[in-house]
Chain A
Amino acid sequence: MALLIALTALTMLAAVWRLLNGPTTADRLLSVQMLGTTSIAVLLLMAEWQQQSHWRDVALVLALLGAVISAALVQLLRPVQKRDPARQRGQS
């Protein structure tokens, strides 16, 4: 079981590599999402391994917050590209 957890955790390295190397913002957000899902998997496995149900609560919160973040941030990140000061002032 522990080995399974460890191996699952190891797959996060791939996501980190993608995080560091991009190249696009969407890629990075995607990697964060991947990290989140893997963390959830690890937490669920740990709940089974240690027979403790509170890790499932943590997994639930992580899933919820992950969903909030990835949804909210797409919205937040959109105007970054438009934030060309000259153009913005020109419009207003």
Chain B
Amino acid sequence: MTAVSTYLLTGMALFLVGLHGLLTLQSMLRRIIAVNLMGSGVFLVLTALAARVPDADPVLHALVVTGLVVSISATALALRLHGAIQRHREDDDS
């Protein structure tokens, strides 16, 4: 059990926890967080794979940087939609 494999497994676990959350949770905010967790899990798998070689694989690091940006932009969009839906509902109620 090397450090790399433990982190690989942790990444997988986070991915699954996120997926489970996305599918079972009711609250939209939590589901958005869940998708973020899935992303972190995948990035952890990628980075753990990068750590297998002595000087860490720069290609994988670049891929994760790219992925991080995707995830924040999508999160911002999702949260905006969520907020808009909430306010819309409030307006309808009144």
Contacts and interface: CB of A to CB of B under 8 A. Distances in A.
B94 interface: yes
A68 to B, nearest CB: 15
B92 interface: no
Interface in A39-63: none
B73 to A, nearest CB: 18
B68 to A, nearest CB: 14
Interface string A57-89: 000000000000000000000000000010001
A16 B92 CA distance: 39
Nearest to A85: B90
Contacts of A89: 94
A19 to B, nearest CB: 15
Contacts of A85: 90, 94
Nearest to B93: A85
A85 B92 CA distance: 13
A89 B93 CA distance: 13
A90 to B, nearest CB: 12
Interface in A18-34: none
B71 to A, nearest CB: 17
A39 to B, nearest CB: 16
Interface of B: 90, 94
